[in-house]
Amino acid sequence: MSMTTILQHCLTGISLGGAYALIAIGYTLVYGILRLINFAHGDIFMMAGYFMIFALASFPWPIAIIITLTVTTLMGIGIERAAYKPLRSAPRMSIMISAIGVSYLLQNLSTYLFTAIPRGYPEIPFLKQIFQIGTISASFVTLLTPVLTIILVIILMLLVNNTKTGMAMRAVSKDFETAQLMGININRVISATFAIGSLLAGVGSILYFTDRMSVTPFSGTLPGLKCFVAAVFGGIGNIPGAVIGGFFIGIVETLLVALGYSTYSDAFTFLLLIVMLLVRPTGLFGEKTVEKV
């Protein structure tokens, strides 16, 4: 494999990883607070793709992006209100089944509304501009993705560490009951968490689909699961961990495909998950907790 090929692969991997990282943050935030694998997160990401298609059909791109992000955020909050909130005191299995149910519903609903035929993702011209660096060529969005990801993560970290809502979020994720006793409005914090997670999924969706150009009702399933793995890998509840996990999975997956093991690229992600859970269940950067008897 020549140097250019390797560089090109790395670029692809980093770009993919950036999009994964943005989705993984949603998983990690929600899991940190509700201890719930939000199976529907991948489908929120997919729906954001459809929103963008429709928004861009009738608005110029800056407005379309704003519309898409707003609608996606609202959808995330709405899903939490409708499907998770009523089950807050139910056993964990029920809420997880509810999450799977939402995912099932979103997939079927979008199949019904938009048909299973892949929709072409509209181009935002400046994002698709092709850059040629030596023999490596890439579109602007490929280069933009990792940069934007890192900027967003820094902003998010600042928010979480320095604002009141951020503090509340951290408190809730440390101890749900105590936080509630301390007068934190749990529902607001959870809504905020879902809002941030969905917003980032929306951004990730725009970056991901602009680079990959087609949306189907099932586009969200596998990326969703992989990003969950990324979140676990980095240590669930840990934002920088999720980002590193996202990049890691993106790059390794790309390399596996590049080496001709595309059959195993998905399997690898899950193998990574299992190995990680067995060797270091708290993930790379997760904190160890002692279970009380």
Partner 1 sequence: MMKIRRNQMLTIITLIVLVIFLYWLNAHRHQNGMLVSVLTKGVILSLVAVSMNLLNGFTGLFSLGQAGFMSIGAYTTAILLIPVKNLDGVYYMNGISPSIRAFKELVAASPQAVQILFPFFALLLGGLLAAFAAALVGIAVLRLKSDYLAIATLGLSEIVRAIFSSPQFDQITNGSYGLNKIPNFPVMLWGAIPSLITPFIIVAICIVFMVMLIKSSYGRAFKAIREDEIAAQAMGINLFKHKEMSFVISSFFSAISGGLLAMYMRSIEAKTFSITMTYDILLIVVIGGIGSVTGSILSAFLVTAAKEWWLRFFDQPLVIGGWHVPLFKTGFRMVIFSLLLMTVVLIYRKGLMGTNEFSWDRLIARFTKRRSAKGGAK
Partner 2 sequence: MKKLTVCLLVLVLLTSSIFATGTTEQKSDVKEVVIGVFEPQTGENGGGGYQEVLGMRYANLMYPTVQINGETYKVRLVEADNKSDKTEAVTAAQSLISSGASVVLGSYGSGVSIAAGDIFLDNQVPAIGASCTNPQVTLGNDYYFRVCFLDPFQGTVMANYAWQEGAKNAAVITQLGDDYSSGLGNFFSRAFTKLGGQVVSEQQFQTNTTDFKSILTNIKAANPDVIFAPSSIATAPLIIKQARELGLTAKIMAGDTWENSSIIENAGSSAEGVALSTFFDDSDPATAEAAKFITGFKKYLVENKQPDIIPAVSALGYDAYLTALQAIEKANSTKGSAIRDALVSVDVEGVTGRIVFNENGDANKDMAFIKTVENGQFKFLKTVSVAN
Are residues 79 and 40 in contact, defined by beta-carbon separation less than 8 angstroms? yes
Based on the shown chain and the rule CB under 8 A, indicate whether residue 239 belongs to the binding site for partner 1: no
Based on the shown chain and the rule CB under 8 A, indicate whether residue 185 belongs to the binding site for partner 2: no
Are residues 96 and 37 in contact, defined by beta-carbon separation less than 8 angstroms? yes
Residue type, 258: A
| Bridge partners, 139 (sequence order) | 130
Task: Output b/e per residue, 66-96; b: 16+ Cβ within 10 A.
Answer: ebbbebbbebbbebbeebbeebeeeeeeebb
Among 257, 277, 284, 285, binds partner 2 (CB under 8 A): 257
Q: 3-class DSSP state for residue 102?
A: helix
Which one, 137 or 187, has the nearer CB to partner 2?
A: 137
Based on the shown chain and the rule CB under 8 A, indicate whether residue 1 belongs to the binding site for partner 1: no
Q: Which does 87 bind (CB under 5 to 8 A by kind): partner 1, partner 2, none?
A: partner 1
The separation between the first and the last C-alpha atoms of the chain, rounded to the nearest angstrom, is: 55
Which one, 42 or 76, has the nearer CB to partner 2?
A: 42
Where helices occur in 115-185 by DSSP H, the ranges are 140-162, 164-174, 176-181
Based on the shown chain and the rule CB under 8 A, indicate whether residue 273 belongs to the binding site for partner 1: yes
Distance in angstroms (rounded) separating the CA atoms of residues 259 and 244: 22
Q: Which does 1 bind (CB under 5 to 8 A by kind): partner 2, partner 1, none?
A: partner 2
Q: 3-class DSSP state for residue 239?
A: helix
Among 22, 225, 244, 256, binds partner 1 (CB under 8 A): 225
# residues near partner 2 by CB under 8 A: 40
Q: Which of 236, 226, 193, 203 is nearest to 45 (CA)?
A: 203
| Bridge partners, 119 (sequence order) | 215
Based on the shown chain and the rule CB under 8 A, indicate whether residue 145 belongs to the binding site for partner 2: no
Where helices occur in 59-175 by DSSP H, the ranges are 61-79, 92-114, 140-162, 164-174
Among positions 20-39, residues that touch partner 1 (CB under 8 A) are: 35-37
Side-chain-side CA neighbours of residue 107 (13 Å): 16
Based on the shown chain and the rule CB under 8 A, indicate whether residue 116 belongs to the binding site for partner 2: yes
Based on the shown chain and the rule CB under 8 A, indicate whether residue 213 belongs to the binding site for partner 2: yes
Give the binding range for partner 2 (CB under 8 A) out of 59-67, 88-96, 130-138, 163-171: 130-138
Give the binding range for partner 1 (CB under 8 A) out of 122-130, 140-148, 157-165, 260-268: 260-268
Among 3, 5, 271, 287, binds partner 1 (CB under 8 A): 271
Which one, 67 or 138, has the nearer CB to partner 2?
A: 138
Among positions 69-108, residues that touch partner 2 (CB under 8 A) are: none
Among 1, 278, 288, 290, binds partner 1 (CB under 8 A): 278
Are residues 249 and 270 in contact, defined by beta-carbon separation less than 8 angstroms? no
Interface residues toward partner 1, by CB under 8 A: 35-37, 82-83, 86-87, 90, 92-94, 96-98, 100-102, 104-105, 108-109, 111-113, 115-116, 221, 225, 228-229, 232, 263-264, 266-267, 269-271, 273-274, 277-278, 281, 293
